[in-house]
A = this chain, B = another copy of it.
Amino acid sequence: MKRILIQLDTDALPSVFDRVVAIDAGVDELFSYGGVTPENVTGLVHGAIFTRGPADLKNTALFIGGSNVAAGEALLKAVKKAFFGPMRVSVLMDSNGSNTTAAAAVFAATKHIKLAESTALVLGGTGPVGHRAAQILASQGTQVRVASREKSKAETVCQKIRDVVKDARVTPVSSSDTPAKLLEGCDLLIAAGAAGVQFFKAEEWQQASSLKVAIDLNAVPPEGLAGIGVTDKAVAKGPITTYGAIGVGGLKMKIHRAAIQNLFEANDRLLDTAAVYDLAAKV
């Protein structure tokens, strides 16, 4: 029986990127939809769950994508609502690559530090990738500082993380504090801001005495952390190991493909942030 992946994209034209990765992950048939909304998705989900018998349902799966992560989250909610008890199929949610990118960034750090014994600063911590990176770190026992221009927004994200991660050690901070104060005692720095935002000058993060790893997820100039090249991959800047967006891209792709393959092992997988990170350890 052929493995069918149904791509539900919230953008008008379904992502070529996600389609190529799905094919390279070994999907047999890819049904691609653009312009998918919570309003029009129910019939598509019913078509997925009512066409094959219970024993064969693991050969059909859903992928939720698109550039707008909030729209993808709303779609995931509607998809879950359209399932009927055991009549369900596995789902991967990765709008804008948010889960696979966050998982890849955190996993890259594990090659250099022990997460459970570390402190991390996540800049752009209220954006989709930053929020997810902070959540994954918290789930691994890291002490996490979630930074945002508005500390109240950072506190909201911290609360959301505490809701899903037991004993999360997360603290909201304001990104308008001085770099020295923000980075004090930090082992890991992840910059996950919007394109065009430069958080720190080179000397600001390179002078942090405790820092061991710095990861800049911004792929478009200017750098989020000045001095880190987009293709840097475990490049040493003095005592600090650095990664750029493309530097973690290879790992992101492996996680993305592994997640798609994992969908077809059962009909009830829900691959959101935590499950995607769990897969990172296996690739």
List A residues at the B interface (Cβ < 8 Å): 1-2, 4, 6, 11-13, 15-21, 23-24, 29-33, 35-36, 40, 43-48, 50-52, 60, 67, 253
Contacts and interface: CB of A to CB of B under 8 A. Distances in A.
A21 B253 contact: no
Complex copy number for this chain: 3
A50 B4 contact: no
Contacts of A47: 15-20
B13 A51 contact: no
A12 B40 contact: yes
A43 B68 CA distance: 14
A-B pairs, top 10 by smallest CB distance, nearest first, are A16-B47, A17-B47, A20-B51, A16-B44, A23-B29, A19-B31, A16-B48, A2-B23, A17-B51, A13-B33
Contact of A52 (B18, B20, B31): B20
A43 B16 contact: yes
A143 to B, nearest CB: 34
A29 B67 CA distance: 23
Nearest to A41: B13
A120 B213 CA distance: 70
Nearest to A19: B31
Contacts of A4: 19-20, 23
6 contacts: A12-B35, A13-B33, A13-B44, A17-B47, A19-B47, A29-B30
B50 A24 contact: no
Q: By CB atoms of chain B within 10 A, which of A2, A20, A33 has the most? A: A20
A51 B24 contact: yes
Nearest to A52: B20
Contacts of A29: 23, 30
A20 B30 CA distance: 10
A90 B24 CA distance: 19
Q: By CB atoms of chain B within 10 A, which of A13, A17, A40, A48 has the most? A: A13
Contacts of A60: 20
Contacts of A46: 16-17
Nearest to A253: B51
A32 B43 CA distance: 16
Contacts of A52: 20, 24
